[in-house]
Structures are given as structure tokens and as C-alpha cells.
């Protein structure tokens, strides 16, 4: 009786043995890798095979940043927690003294943000200060810092007032048509902040109140929103940090890059040919080009485009939460309206810049919103030079811990802001935390919505001013209420890196007569 089975030859045997050996070796080193923090004496949650501590991210249930906050809350007595972004050992900080070291005192050991964008691949996104590294970042920051002084903000302030008045006209024109449906707060605020960016940076009318699908709005919606393979690479780089050594991603689509370049190139040529000086950020960038030989047209375009992310997306998120909290707390809204009414100029019906800066209750409301709803759950940095951490008064971590170069570092902003150790009754909206003597009770580095130290957000002053004036105009002219389309309690989108409530924040407006 014959058999169809062919005997396995010696080469095939050898191949099977080699494959099995390779798998066993890989499993051994993976297991050893997951012992990294234990060997250093740093406690943390047990990682799972390949996914580490990011299992819920792979299931699309939570973003990595949301997972970091869960872990922060699980270890209230630890100064640091050892976690794994897939197979990469990552250190989550809870100790305020260490956060101070990382962001300020020993900044040269942690000077880079974690995500890498190659400017050769993405000349616009890659030049954003957030993504630049080392000495190149230092040079660019030195170039751009003068653009955000109080003097420069006063320059652009009249443009912000014009947009705020346009916002009032838009709300009034739409109120009857909505028929009780309410405004989705972020969508409304995005129209406002995008018009501000168009005017204060690009020197154009964004037409975002007049046209639901204006060209500038289309550009902004696609900016820093990679599609196709770029989106897949961004996800992979976020959950497998070691991949940043081997790949980069293009955040700005080619079509968007071309449109931004075309708009700015036309504006620059027009201003230069006609010797036009307009008090806006584009003029500041043009002056930089004249005085700094290494600051080119590409740099002007890239840093102007950077305002779309900083001055449009982030600011609209924060402003929408301000409206939500005011709608949800009518006593706070009433008190704020009294302060606003006192500071508006009676003759011109405008809000002077100096008066806005002196409004302490408005400032406190905004800071309390930033505490409860920081735009990012966490910030991610990278150790750039070996650092030795010596715990203070920790019984669990008794010895010093060496943080090796290349180790990702997590600053859990949302966790710090909601920690009862630093903020009494942290879920309660209480602007008085940031008024008068109460401010002294807030521990340094427990509240840092914009980051801290040299890497803090460059455009935060512009963002704060545009939010304040927009909110001031709204609350002076309208009472705001939470529309029942808002899904309560708030839950956040698991696949969006910034804080984004599922279903949106829906607000009703009632004209004050």
C-alpha cells in the first residue's frame, strides 16, 4: 500500500528548528523586557503580551492618554509608575518635585517631546515647535517668542473684537432658524477661533460665519489630519514608540500644504509689492524673515499654519467647555456677567484690552475650566540625557531610579487636575479656587494645562485672550443653558487625542434685552 506522504528532508527540519528557536528567543526577550521596571524597583500594572498596558486602545475603547489617567488613579501612593506602551517601557510621573525636574530644573535631560515628525517629509507640520528637537527647537523658540508679547497681542486685539462682534451677529441670525435645537458649542467656537486665525495670522477674511463650507474652514479641518497610510502610521507610532526610530509621518496632506502655501504666498507678495503693514502675526513673521537669514519663506508658511492647530482647534475646545460650565452653573454665569458689564466701555460698547486683562473672575472661570477639562489628558516627553531620580519620602520606592536616555515620560495632566490631594472636591466647578488668597493653596506643577517650563505652549497667551473676549461678548448679550441634546454624564471620545465629549456640548442662547 503506497503513501502520499513525503518524508521531511534535513533542510526542512533545520528551517523548522530555526523558526521555532527564533520565536522562543523573541518570547524570552519580550518577557525580559516586561521585567524592566520590576528590576529597577518601580511598581506598575502588569503588562499583557505585545499590547503592554494599552489593550483598551487596541480595542478602540480608550486612547493611550485616557489609559494613562486610569493608571495614575490606581496608584495614589506612588511618586512614579512603570508602564508599557506596547513593548516600550514608559515612566508615568506623579511626584510634583520630579515633574518640576523634568519640565524646568533638569530640562536639558528631557527637552524633547515624544512624537517625531520629519520636516523633510512634512515641511509644514515638521517645523511646528512642538515637534522640533534639540538645538533646532531652541533656535525656533527664540525666533517666535517675541511674537507673543503683550505688545503684539494688543496689535491683534482689534481683529479679535471684530470677530467677536461678528460672532454676536451670527448667533442672532441663527437663533430663530435653530428652533430650539441649540448650538453645538465646539462647532460654534470653531467658527469664531478660525475666523480669528484667518484675520490675525493669514490676514484674510475666513468667511466662517457666512459660509458653512468656506475654503479656509476646509483647509483647517484637514490640517494635521493625516489620512490613509499616514493615519495608520501615526496610530502605530503612538502605541509602539520605538517605531519613531524607523518611520515618520506626514501630518499635513499635500493638497492642504499647497492651499496654505498658495494663500500665504499671495498675501506676502501683495504686502511686499504694495508696502502694506498690517498689525498681525504674519507681519511679525515677515520681519523675522528679513532679520534672520535662516528664516525662510517655508518657515513663514509653516509657523503661520501652526496657528491653525494652536489658535483654532485647542482654543475652540476650551471655549466650548467654558460655555458648557457657565450654562451648567447659572450662579457663576450671573456673577461673571456683572463683572463683564462693568468693564465694557459705555461710549463705544467695546471691551478695552486693559479692562479684559483686569477681569479676575473671568480669569478664574477660564482657569477652572482648564483644570476640569484640560484640552489634553496628558503630555508625553522623552528623556534626552540619562537622569537619576532619588525619591523623597517613598516607602515603596526605596532606591534611586536611573531613567535612561530615550525613555518616554508621561505627565498626567488630567489626573493631576482631578487629584483630591491637590484640589478639594475636584469634580466641583469652583472658580474661586483661582481668586485672591486661594491661589496660594494651589501647589506648583499640580495645575499645568499648557505644560510648564521652556516647552510650555508658545501660543497660550493668544489662545487665552481670544477665548476671554469671545466669552465676554457672549455672556454680556446672552444667557446660556445646557440643551438636552448634551449627553450627560460626559464621556470622552476614545480615539481622539484631545478631550472630546461624545455627542458634543449643546447650548441654548437667550438674548438679554
pLDDT tens, residue by residue, 164-213: 999 999 999 987 767 778 999 999 999 999 999 999 988 889 999 999 88
C-alpha cell at 335: 456673577
pLDDT at 424 over 90: yes
Letter string b/e over residues 158-181, b meaning 16 or more CB atoms within 10 A of that residue's CB: ebbbebbebbbebbeeebeeeeee
Please compute the mean of the pLDDT values over residues 315-319 and round it to a whole number: 96
Task: Give, rounded to a whole angstrom, the gap between the first and last alpha carbons of the chain.
Answer: 102
Phi, psi at 90, each rounded to 5°: -135, 145
pLDDT at 26 over 60: no
Closest by CA position to 44, among listed 384, 66, 52: 52
Task: Give pLDDT, residue 1.
Answer: 47
Give percent above pLDDT 70 in the chain. Answer: 88
CA dist., res. 270 & res. 264, Å (int): 10
pLDDT at 232 over 90: no
Task: Give pLDDT, residue 114.
Answer: 86
Please compute the mean of the pLDDT values over residues 319-327 and round it to a whole number: 98
277-313: pLDDT as tens digits: 888 888 888 888 888 888 888 888 888 888 887 788 8
pLDDT at 246 over 80: no
CA dist., res. 274 & res. 95, Å (int): 56
Task: Give pLDDT, residue 122.
Answer: 85
Task: Give pLDDT, residue 278.
Answer: 87
In the chain, what are the domain boundaries? 57-115+376-448, 117-373+458-513
CA dist., res. 345 & res. 347, Å (int): 6
CA dist., res. 478 & res. 327, Å (int): 11
Task: Give pLDDT, residue 115.
Answer: 81
Closest by CA position to 339, among listed 360, 315, 370, 308: 360
Q: Is the peptide bond before 382 cis (omega within 30 degrees of 0)?
A: no
DSSP conformational letter for 104: I
What's the mean per-residue pLDDT of the chain? 88
Task: Give pLDDT, residue 16.
Answer: 62
Give percent above pLDDT 90 in the chain. Answer: 53
Task: Give pLDDT, residue 117.
Answer: 82
Q: What is the pTM of this model?
A: 0.90
- Give 376 or 224, the one with higher predicted confidence: 376
Task: Give pLDDT, residue 111.
Answer: 95
DSSP conformational letter for 156: H
Residue 121: how many other CB atoms lie within 10 Å = 15
CA dist., res. 509 & res. 182, Å (int): 7
100-110: pLDDT as tens digits: 999 999 999 99
Name, in order, each residue with C-beta under 8 angstroms of 506's C-beta and a sequence gap of 6 or more: 182, 183, 184, 185, 482, 483, 484, 485, 486
Question: Could you tell me if 455 and 140 are in contact, meaning their C-beta atoms sit under 8 angstroms apart?
Answer: no
CA dist., res. 315 & res. 465, Å (int): 10
Supply the CATH classification number for the domain 117-373+458-513. Answer: 1.10.630.10
Task: Give pLDDT, residue 36.
Answer: 93
Residue 146: how many other CB atoms lie within 10 Å = 12
C-alpha cell at 475: 455672556
Amino acid at each position: 500500500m503506497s503513501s502520499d506522504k513525503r518524508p521531511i528532508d534535513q533542510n526542512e527540519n533545520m528551517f523548522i528548528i530555526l523558526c521555532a528557536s527564533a520565536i522562543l528567543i523573541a518570547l524570552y526577550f519580550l518577557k525580559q523586557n516586561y521585567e524592566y521596571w520590576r528590576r529597577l524597583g518601580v511598581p506598575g500594572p502588569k503588562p499583557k503580551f505585545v499590547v503592554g498596558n494599552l489593550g483598551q486602545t487596541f480595542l478602540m475603547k480608550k486612547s493611550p492618554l485616557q489609559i494613562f489617567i486610569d493608571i495614575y488613579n490606581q496608584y495614589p501612593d506612588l511618586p512614579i509608575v512603570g508602564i508599557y506602551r506596547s513593548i516600550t517601557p514608559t515612566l508615568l510621573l506623579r511626584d510634583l518635585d520630579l515633574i518640576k525636574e523634568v519640565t524646568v530644573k533638569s530640562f536639558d535631560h528631557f527637552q524633547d517631546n515624544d512624537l517625531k515628525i520629519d520636516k523633510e517629509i512634512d515641511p509644514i507640520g515638521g517645523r511646528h515647535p512642538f515637534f522640533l528637537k534639540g538645538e533646532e527647537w531652541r533656535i525656533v523658540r527664540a525666533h517666535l517668542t517675541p511674537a507673543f508679547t503683550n505688545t503684539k497681542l494688543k496689535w491683534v486685539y482689534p481683529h479679535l473684537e471684530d470677530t467677536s462682534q461678528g460672532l454676536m451677529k451670527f448667533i442672532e441670525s441663527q437663533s430663530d432658524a435653530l428652533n430650539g435645537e441649540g448650538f453645538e458649542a465646539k462647532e460654534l467656537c470653531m467658527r469664531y477661533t478660525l475666523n480669528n486665525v484667518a484675520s490675525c495670522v493669514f490676514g484674510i477674511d475666513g468667511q466662517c460665519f457666512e459660509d458653512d463650507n468656506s475654503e479656509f474652514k476646509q483647509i483647517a479641518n484637514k490640517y494635521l489630519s493625516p489620512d490613509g497610510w499616514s493615519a495608520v502610521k501615526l496610530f502605530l507610532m503612538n502605541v509602539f514608540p520605538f517605531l519613531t526610530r524607523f518611520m515618520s509621518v506626514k501630518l499635513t496632506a499635500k493638497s492642504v500644504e499647497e492651499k496654505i502655501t498658495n494663500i500665504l504666498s499671495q498675501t506676502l507678495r501683495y504686502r511686499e509689492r504694495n508696502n502694506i503693514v498690517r498689525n498681525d502675526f504674519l507681519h511679525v513673521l515677515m520681519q523675522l524673515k528679513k532679520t534672520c537669514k535662516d528664516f525662510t519663506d517655508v518657515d513663514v508658511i509653516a509657523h503661520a499654519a501652526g496657528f491653525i492647530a494652536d489658535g483654532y482647534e485647542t482654543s475652540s475646545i476650551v471655549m466650548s467647555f467654558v460655555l458648557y460650565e457657565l450654562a451648567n452653573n447659572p450662579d457663576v454665569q450671573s456673577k461673571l456677567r456683572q463683572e463683564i458689564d462693568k468693564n465694557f466701555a459705555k461710549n463705544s460698547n467695546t471691551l478695552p484690552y486693559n479692562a479684559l486683562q483686569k477681569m479676575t473672575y473671568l480669569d478664574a472661570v477660564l482657569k477652572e475650566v482648564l483644570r476640569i477639562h484640560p484640552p489634553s489628558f496628558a503630555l508625553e516627553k522623552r528623556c534626552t540625557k540619562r537622569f537619576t531620580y532619588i525619591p523623597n519620602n517613598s516607602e515603596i520606592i526605596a532606591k534611586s531610579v536611573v531613567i535612561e536616555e530615550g525613555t518616554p515620560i508621561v505627565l498626567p495632566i488630567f489626573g493631576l487636575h482631578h487629584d483630591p490631594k491637590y484640589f478639594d472636591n475636584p469634580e466641583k466647578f469652583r472658580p474661586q479656587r483661582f481668586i485672591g488668597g486661594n491661589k496660594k493653596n494651589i501647589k506648583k506643577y499640580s495645575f499645568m494645562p499648557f505644560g510648564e517650563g521652556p516647552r510650555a505652549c508658545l501660543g497660550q497667551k493668544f489662545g487665552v485672550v481670544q477665548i476671554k473676549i469671545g466669552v465676554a461678548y457672549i455672556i454680556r448679550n446672552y444667557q446660556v443653558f445646557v440643551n438636552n441634546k448634551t449627553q450627560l454624564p460626559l464621556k470622552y471620545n476614545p480615539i481622539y487625542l484631545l478631550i472630546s465629549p461624545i455627542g458634543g456640548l449643546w447650548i441654548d442662547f437667550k438674548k438679554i434685552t
